[in-house]
Amino acid sequence: MNGSMLLAWRELTARRRSFVLSVAAVAVVIALCTTLELVSRAREVAVASRIDFKGPALRIIPGGLSQIDLERFRLGTSYLPEGTASFIEKKLSRSVRNMESRHLRVEEVGGKSVHVIGFDPGDIVTPFDALKQLPGGSVVLGSQLARTLHTDAGETIPLLGGEWPVAAVLPSTGTVEDLALFLRRADLREEGIAAEANEIRLFLRPGQTIDGPLTLLQDTRPDLSVIPSNPPGEVERRVFGGLGENRMILYMVAAFVAALSILFWSYLNSTERRIEISTVIATGGTPVGVFSTLALRSVITGVLGAILGYGSGVILVFLQDREAASGILWSPGLFVQVLAIVLVLSIAGSLPVALRSAFRDHVSTLQES
Amino acid sequence: MLELKSVSKTYPGRNGAPVRALRDVSLFVNRGEFLTVIGPSGSGKSTLLFSAGAMLEPSEGSVLIDDVDIYSLSPGKRASLRRKKLGFMFQTFNLIPYLSCVENVAFPAILEGRSRRESMEKASGMLERLGLEERLGHRPGELSVGERQRVALCRSLVNDPDMLLADEPTGNLDNLLTREVVDMFRDLNNDGLTIIVVTHDLRFARMSPRVVKLLSGEVECDHAVSGGMMYQ
């Protein structure tokens, strides 16, 4: 490998112009793909956050209960089996972006039946800070409920045998949550312990549709009722899925062209250098060493191009849309993927030519020289 | 040291008819011997050299170096044998154009697994002994023909081989340089190196203690002459 590295590096630096041009060509392709991917991801994340606020893609409640039971909060004493959340995390981690556990029930408040939602501030998906930062021992009211109870923020309401301060009244959302009362699930105690979850809400990743998770849950967990919410976001998610597939096709075409270029470049290089290759074999080199030399030339060019291209792509994204890109600019996963693809292409592109060069008739070549 | 036992080599011809480059050649070369192989073009000289050099497997017969049939070895072991025991010199020198002189010489030592530093030090020392101390960092394209010849010689000797195989080493040289190469080879042989040279150049034959003449792939004559000078 030491000898191969010496040959590869010396040849690249001796032909500086073609080396720089090759690195630049790789960098341009990688920069374009990186920019496209990062911008797409940034947009998807931004849109996905807004879609989530419209509601979950799937709602999971105890088996035997129906959508009507859910809408009326009539879940009785049925709870989700223990381990449901961890099962979903394990089986659906590639589809699910966020997961929220709730306890739903109906309680009497000021002589009226009120839909009560117990939630965990850490995992709630909402645009409202009043819910994310709700202190223990207080409640938040939906806009319609606050009007019905004639109660405003800072006042108290009677609930569960005590008086609860109202931390905030939510703006109108146009959903059933306008009629709901929110409090921490830990405060919604039953027999001295926090109320168990009887609803899990799933929010899917961009490009994921409800079909896969729905089928998996229905097939493997008959002890659960899975209710597709079919919110407007499903259409967007399907569009994202289609765009993602188109991007993948574009990347595959780019990778194919890159592999062909490496193959062609290696072929020209090995044809031009055949006397040197045969001399290396005569001085004790091996076919593996010849392959290493050719592959190393491609790998060095490819890796330098990938680093430059990825860096350029990140800078382009930053200049283009600083706000959208701020969350995903440093994406080590994508960088590692880019490097891995470049490495595989460099080695695969060099392999046929290297094999041909290593096993050609070196004696004839040396005699011709 | 080297033994060729009934070696024949047949190539597929252009019109389908096989071309026999070597026919039943048997040859024994002792350690420290200086053998010159002469013959007209197409007589099989280079085929014999590359067969002896673990580069070209004979169609029939066997080639033994230190009693080991080298073509029964794996390709990897043959490569190792070329690195350790054999040194090649070519008519056109075949120096790698983008390596410096010292790197060209050090390269087989690096392939052999020596550290780069050790290899470069040894290569520098060899080049300095041949008067190329000013040329260590130069590339082959910046050297004269005679300097390239010396670099190629150093490269073939860097791993301290037992045997030097030279294919027309004076083919591109004028009289003065040819004399220089002949002297260098004689000195190396006097130091114990086994040398096999294939050449058209009768000047080698004149100073060689043993001359084999090939004709149409067969040994026409094999003369061991005390003190050389047979072909004057």
| Per-residue pLDDT, A19 | 84
Rounded to a whole number, what is the distance in angstroms from the first to the last CA of chain B?
Answer: 28
Match 């009211």 to its residue by tokens.
A141
Q: Find out whether A97 and A237 touch, Cβ atoms under 8 Å.
A: no
Nearest CA in chain A to B111: A3
Instruction: Report the residue from A11, A15, A285 with minimal CB separation from B111.
Output: A285
Q: Give the span between the Cα atoms of A131 and A184, in whole angstroms.
A: 9
pLDDT tens per residue, range A3-17: 788 888 888 888 888
Residue A279 near chain B (CB below 8 Å): yes
Q: ipTM, 2 decimals?
A: 0.85
Which residues are CB-contacts of B16 (< 8 A; sequence separation ≥ 6)?
Answer: none
Structure tokens at A302: 């490819």
Q: Find out whether B182 and B231 touch, Cβ atoms under 8 Å.
A: no
Instruction: Report the residue from B47, B53, B94 with minimal CB separation from A275.
Output: B94
Res A39 pLDDT > 70: yes
Structure tokens at A290: 């010849």
pLDDT tens per residue, range A83-94: 898 999 898 888
| Per-residue pLDDT, B22 | 92
Q: How many Cα atoms within 13 Å fall on the side-chain side of residue A270? A: 28
**Given an 8 Å threshold on Cβ–Cβ distance, is A363 in contact with B50?**
yes
Separation in Å, CA of B175 to nearest CA in chain A: 22
Pairing relationship of beta strands A180-184 and A139-141 according to DSSP bridges: antiparallel
Q: Which residue has the higher pLDDT, B41 or A192?
A: B41
Residue A285 near chain B (CB below 8 Å): yes
Task: Please state, rounded to an integer, the average pLDDT across all residues of chain A.
Answer: 83
Res A272 pLDDT > 70: yes
Res A219 pLDDT > 70: yes
3-state secondary structure of B55: coil
Residue A367 near chain B (CB below 8 Å): yes
Q: Find out whether B83 and B110 touch, Cβ atoms under 8 Å.
A: no
- Over residues A207-233, mean pLDDT: 83
Residue A59 near chain B (CB below 8 Å): no
| Per-residue pLDDT, A326 | 65
| Per-residue pLDDT, A347 | 84
| DSSP state letter for B57 | -
| Per-residue pLDDT, B229 | 45
Q: Which residue has the higher pLDDT, B65 or A364?
A: B65
Q: Which residue has the higher pLDDT, B148 or A270?
A: B148
Nearest CA in chain A to B109: A3
The CATH T-level fold of domain B2-226 is Rossmann fold (3.40.50)
- Over residues A69-80, mean pLDDT: 82
pLDDT tens per residue, range A288-342: 888 888 888 888 988 999 899 988 888 888 887 776 566 665 667 788 888 898 8
- Select from B107, B117, B119 the residue whose CB has the most chain A CBs within 10 Å, as the one to mutate to test that interface: B107
**Given an 8 Å threshold on Cβ–Cβ distance, is A281 in contact with B88?**
no
From chain A, pick out residues whose CB is under 8 angstroms from the CB of B89.
none
3-state secondary structure of A147: helix
From chain B, pick out residues whose CB is under 8 angstroms from the CB of A366.
50, 55, 90, 94, 167
**Given an 8 Å threshold on Cβ–Cβ distance, is B83 in contact with A362?**
no
**Given an 8 Å threshold on Cβ–Cβ distance, is A7 in contact with B108?**
no
| Per-residue pLDDT, A323 | 64
Separate counts of helices (H) and strands (E) for chain A: 13, 11
- Select from B88, B94, B114, B142 the residue whose CB has the most chain A CBs within 10 Å, as the one to mutate to test that interface: B94
Structure tokens at A115: 């839909």
From chain B, pick out residues whose CB is under 8 angstroms from the CB of A297.
none
Could you please report the per-residue DSSP string of B126-177? HHHHTT-GGGTT--GGGS-HHHHHHHHHHHHHTT--SEEEEESTTTT--HHH
Q: Give the span between the Cα atoms of A181 and A183, in whole angstroms.
A: 7
**Given an 8 Å threshold on Cβ–Cβ distance, is B55 in contact with A282?**
yes
Positions of chain B with pLDDT lower than 70, given as ranges:
225-232
Could you tell me the pTM of the whole model? 0.67
Strands (E), A124-266: 139-141, 156-159, 162-169, 180-184, 189-190, 193-194, 199-204, 224-228
- Select from A1, A11, A283 the residue whose CB has the most chain B CBs within 10 Å, as the one to mutate to test that interface: A283
| Per-residue pLDDT, A345 | 84
Separation in Å, CA of B103 to nearest CA in chain A: 9
**Given an 8 Å threshold on Cβ–Cβ distance, is A363 in contact with B83?**
no
* Backbone Cα Rg of chain B: 18
Residue A61 near chain B (CB below 8 Å): no
Res A70 pLDDT > 90: no
Q: Which helix (H) or strand (E) holds A39?
A: helix A16-53
